[in-house]
Structure 1
Amino acid sequence: MSEQTKTTIKDAAISLFYAKGFHGTSVRDIARKAGVNPALISYYFGGKQALFESLLIDFFEGYVKTMETAAREPNGDPIDSLVELFKKVLLYQQSCHWLARMAHREMTLDSTLVREVMSTYLRKEQHLLEQAVARCLRRQGEPLAADLIVVQLRNMMTLPFSSPQYLRELFLLTPADEQFIERYGRHADEWIRSLLSSLEQRKTMVVRLTS
C-alpha cells in the first residue's frame, strides 16, 4: 500500500508542478489531488521541496540509463547507433512527457540542485553523446571537435519536451503523440546522416585540393 500511495502522490505532484510550477503548487494541492492526508507527503518524501527533487532525480536517472543502454547495444555502424540512441531518448521523454518538461524547465535555473544534477547526470549525458558523435567523426576521418554537434543534437533531442507549448501553439505539433515522434524521428535520422555526409564530402574536397 505504501508504494502505491507514494506513486499516487508522485503522479499528482507531476501534473501540478507541470501545470502550476513549483511555487504555484502547495502541499495541500498535491494531497488533495492524490486523495491523501497532507502529512503523508512529509512522511514519505520530507516535504514539497524533497518531493520535487525526488521527481527530478527520477527523470534524469531514467534519461541517462536510457542513453547508457542504447550506447552499449552492439551496432556495426556508428551513425546507425547514434540515430538509435536519439530515438530511444525521444521515446523515453515521451513516456513521461509531463515530468520531462518539468525537469528540463528546472534546468534553465541556477540553483544548488541544478548544479548537482548537471555534475551528476548531464555530465554523463555529455560524455555519452560526445563518444557517440566522435565514433561517427572518426569513421569519417573528420578532425572537427564534436562539441557543437553535441549541442545541436542535444537541443533537437530535448526541445520538443522542454517547449511543448511552443510547438503546439505555433506549429500545431504535439510531442506526446506517437505520430509526432515517428515524424520527428525520421527527420532527425535524415538530419544526422546529412550532417555527417556533408562532413565527409568536405573532407574529400580538402583531400582533392591538397593532393
Structure 2
Amino acid sequence: MKNNVTKQKVVDAASSLFFQKGFHGTSVRDIADRASVNVSLISYYFKGKQGLLEYAVTNYYEAYLEKIEESLEKTSDESAMYRLNELIFTIIHYKQMHHQLTCFIQRELSLDSVFVREMTVTYLAKENYYLKELFQETIGKSVSHDEKMYLFMQLKGMLITPYILHSDWKGQIVGQFAHEQFVKKYTKSIQKWIQFNATITQQ
C-alpha cells in the first residue's frame, strides 16, 4: 500500500512538472524534489523518466477507457442520445479531474513520435470506436458519410479544445468547485450542440 502511495506521489509530481515545463524541460531531480523522494526511488520504480512517462500515460488511458466502458454498460438500455450525453459527461469529467496530465498528453499528441503512434494504436483507436459508433447512431441514417465524418471531427475537437487551449481558461478554473462547475457547463454546451445537429439531420 505504501509503495502505491509513493508511486502515485511521484506520478502526480511528474504530471505537474511535465505540464509546467514539458517532458524535456523536467529532470528526474525536479520530480524527486517535488515528490519529496530519493532520486534512486524513481529509477527503482520506473527505470527513469521515460519509464515514468509511459507508466503515467498508460495508467491514465487504462482508467479513462474503463470509465468510458462503465458509462456505456450502465446506460445500455437507454436511447443513443442519452447514452452519448452521459458519455460526454464522463469524458470531460475524467479529463478535468486529471487536468494537468490531460493537457500534457494533448500537447504530446500534436507531435509525431513513436510514443504518440503507440498511444494512437493502443488507446485512441478504442476511444474513437466507442464515440463514433454512438455518435453515428445518434445523428441518424439520413446523413451522408462525409457529413457524419465532419460532424464527428467537430465533436472530437470540442472534447480536446479546453486541454489544448488551457491557457485561455487558466484564470477561471481555480479549485475543485470551479473544475466541477466547468465540467457541468462545458458538457452542457456540447450536449446542446449534439441535440441541435441531431434535430437538423433528422428533419
TM-score of the pair, normalised by structure 1? 0.86
Contact 1:83 1:189 in 2 (8 A): yes
| Offset, 1:43 | 0.4
Which position in structure 2 is the counterpart of 1:154?
156
Q: How has the CA–CA distance of structure 1 residues 5 and 114 changed in structure 2, closer, same or farther, with 3 Å as cutoff?
A: same
Separation in structure 1 between the aligned mates of residue 60 and residue 164 of structure 2, nearest angstrom: 13
Which position in structure 2 is the counterpart of 1:30?
31
Q: Say which one has the larger Rg.
A: 1
Which of 184, 189, 192 is 2:191 aligned to?
Answer: 189
Worse-matched range after superposition: 158-167 or 40-49: 158-167
1:123-168: CA deviations, max 9, x gaps? 111111111012123xx33242232222111111121123211334
* Counterpart residue identity of residue 6, structure 1: K
* Counterpart residue identity of residue 98, structure 1: Q
TM-score of the pair, normalised by structure 2? 0.90
Which position in structure 1 is the counterpart of 2:54?
53
Worse-matched range after superposition: 107-116 or 151-160: 151-160
* Counterpart residue identity of residue 67, structure 2: T
- Within 5 A, what are the aligned runs for 1:1-211? 1-73=2-74, 74-137=76-139, 140-145=140-145, 146-168=148-170, 173-174=172-173, 177-201=179-203
Contact 1:126 1:150 in 2 (8 A): no
Separation in structure 1 between the aligned mates of residue 173 and residue 50 of structure 2, nearest angstrom: 30
Alignment length (residue pairs): 196
Q: Percent identity?
A: 36
* Counterpart residue identity of residue 142, structure 2: E
For structure 1, list consecutive stretches of 5 or more residues without a partner in the other structure.
202-211
1:45-90: CA deviations, max 9, x gaps? 0000110111111222222222222222324311111111001111
| Offset, 1:193 | 0.3
Separation in structure 2 between the aligned mates of residue 96 and residue 104 of structure 1, nearest angstrom: 12
